């Protein structure tokens, strides 16, 4: 969710003064505040938009940036609803206006979900053909083996937090400039988990998890593109006390193969042929991804002509028919010629009625030569 035009959202002119902006915001915030509109998702959405708009226009720096670039993308306020209520970029706003973040933790008897993690994998271009199982290393928070994630020692049980009675949140009513606001914040004593550990496990100090180095074999599917991310469900950090495991996101890099350039499913390569091969035609070997391939050079092939070898590219993601290999002909001119070779080339030129080359520095007059050629 992002506000397209904060001026329109707050209903103020672009020339509005800071006081006018603030006043418009307060009026709308009072009207749409969730406490005034319980169980009204539309009002809640509107309230968020208003708050977002004011987060931009109420901040001179962000307002200037919006005025200049006409965008809020770069303001660090592009977060979704989750960020909003968990204080992602709006913490300061709620801090300023409501005296606390609008976090609504729901304690689940101490259950804590594991974090999602990110790891990287590198494969060769040739592995894109059939996919590959690769080892991926990363650090994760693993369920403590000593206490099986309970965080307690000697098999004792966590107790219900006395501060929040296990709810995980504490509420407070505050007087603010837009009226009295009920705020709900994570319980400071139990950090929102709803439990207290009286006798913490000595291995994990009551955290229930310990950091470990993990190595996991991940199956990279055929046809993957460099930079694509695979999600491995449940392989992130461990959840504890009934919480679910996080996921592992593996960013796949495909190493450069100097022989080929890749464009989606197709591959491109170059092959050197001689002037004689280009003129007369030939059958040559071309290096394919996994094996040498036969390529028919047509008579009269010109420099830069491209041949297509079907089904020698890469498959679509997940497999299937391969793309094609495009081979560009590079015609190589000999760097040196012997006297006998030069004589044959001159003879050949004469036979074709072409200018007969005399060698560098031998022609009498370059302009005369151009003239004669015509
Ligand atoms: Zn508590
Ligand atoms: Zn432990």
Question: Going from the N-terminus, what domains does the chain have, and what CATH number goes with each?
Answer: 6-98 (1.10.287.110), 117-254 (2.10.230.10), 261-332 (2.60.260.20), 339-373 (no CATH)
Buried b (16+ CB within 10 A) or exposed e, 155-173: eeebebbeebebbbbbeee
C-alpha of residue 153 to centroid of ligand 2, in Å:
7
C-alpha of residue 250 to centroid of ligand 2, in Å:
28
- Cα 88 to Cα 6, 32, 234, 370: the distances in Å are 19, 21, 25, 74
C-alpha of residue 35 to centroid of ligand 1, in Å:
23
C-alpha of residue 209 to centroid of ligand 2, in Å:
6
How far is C-alpha 301 from the geometric centre of its chain's CA atoms? 43
C-alpha of residue 43 to centroid of ligand 1, in Å:
30
Predicted TM-score of the model (pTM): 0.62
C-alpha of residue 94 to centroid of ligand 1, in Å:
22
Task: Tell me the pLDDT of the chain (374 aa) as tens digits.
Answer: 456 789 999 999 888 888 899 889 988 888 888 777 778 888 888 888 888 889 889 888 888 878 877 765 433 333 333 233 333 333 333 333 443 334 344 567 788 899 999 999 999 999 999 999 999 999 999 999 999 999 999 888 889 999 999 888 888 887 777 777 778 888 888 888 899 998 999 999 999 999 999 999 999 999 999 999 999 999 999 999 989 999 999 999 999 999 999 999 999 999 999 999 999 999 999 999 999 999 999 999 999 999 999 999 999 988 889 999 999 999 999 999 999 999 999 999 999 999 999 888 765 566 665 555 54
In this structure, what is the dihedral angle of CA atoms 289, 290, 291, 296, given to the nearest 10 degrees?
A: -20
- Cα 211 to Cα 2, 139, 231, 300: the distances in Å are 37, 7, 21, 67
C-alpha of residue 161 to centroid of ligand 2, in Å:
19
Report how many helices (DSSP H) and strands (DSSP E) the chain contains, helices first.
9, 15
DSSP state of 286: E
């Amino acid at each position: 969710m992002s506000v397209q035009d904060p001026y329109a959202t707050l209903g103020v002119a672009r020339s509005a003064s800071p006081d006018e902006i603030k006043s418009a915001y307060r009026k709308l915030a009072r009207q749409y505040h969730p406490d005034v509109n319980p169980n009204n998702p539309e009002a809640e959405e509107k309230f968020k938009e208003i708050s977002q708009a004011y987060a931009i226009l109420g901040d001179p720096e962000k307002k200037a940036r919006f005025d200049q670039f006409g965008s809020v993308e770069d303001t660090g306020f592009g977060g979704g609803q989750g960020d909003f209520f968990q204080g992602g970029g709006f913490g300061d706003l709620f801090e300023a206006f409501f005296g606390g973040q609008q976090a609504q933790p729901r304690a689940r008897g101490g259950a804590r979900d594991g974090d999602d993690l990110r790891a990287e994998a590198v494969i060769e271009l040739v592995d894109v053909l059939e996919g590959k199982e690769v080892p991926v290393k990363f650090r994760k928070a693993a369920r403590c083996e000593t206490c099986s994630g309970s965080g307690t020692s000697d098999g004792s049980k966590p107790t219900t937090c006395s501060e929040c009675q296990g709810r995980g949140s504490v509420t407070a009513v505050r007087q603010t400039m837009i009226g009295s606001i009920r705020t709900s914040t994570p319980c400071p004593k139990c950090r929102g988990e709803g439990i207290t550990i009286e006798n913490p496990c000595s291995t994990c100090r009551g955290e229930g998890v310990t950091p470990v180095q993990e190595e996991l074999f991940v199956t990279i599917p055929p046809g993957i593109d460099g930079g694509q991310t695979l999600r491995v469900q449940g392989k992130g950090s461990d959840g504890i006390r009934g919480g679910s495991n996080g996921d592992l996101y593996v960013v796949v890099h495909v190493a450069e193969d100097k022989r080929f350039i890749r464009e989606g499913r197709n591959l491109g390569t170059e092959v050197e042929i001689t002037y004689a091969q280009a003129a007369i035609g030939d059958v040559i070997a071309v290096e394919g991804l996994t094996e040498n391939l036969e390529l028919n050079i047509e008579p009269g092939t010109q420099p830069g002509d491209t041949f297509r070898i079907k089904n020698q590219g890469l498959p679509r993601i997940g497999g299937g028919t391969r793309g094609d290999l495009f081979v560009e002909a590079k015609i190589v001119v000999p760097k040196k010629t012997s006297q006998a070779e030069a004589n044959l080339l001159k003879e050949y030129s004469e036979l074709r009625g072409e200018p007969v080359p005399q060698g560098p520095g031998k022609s009498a007059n370059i302009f005369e030569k151009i003239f004669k050629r015509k």
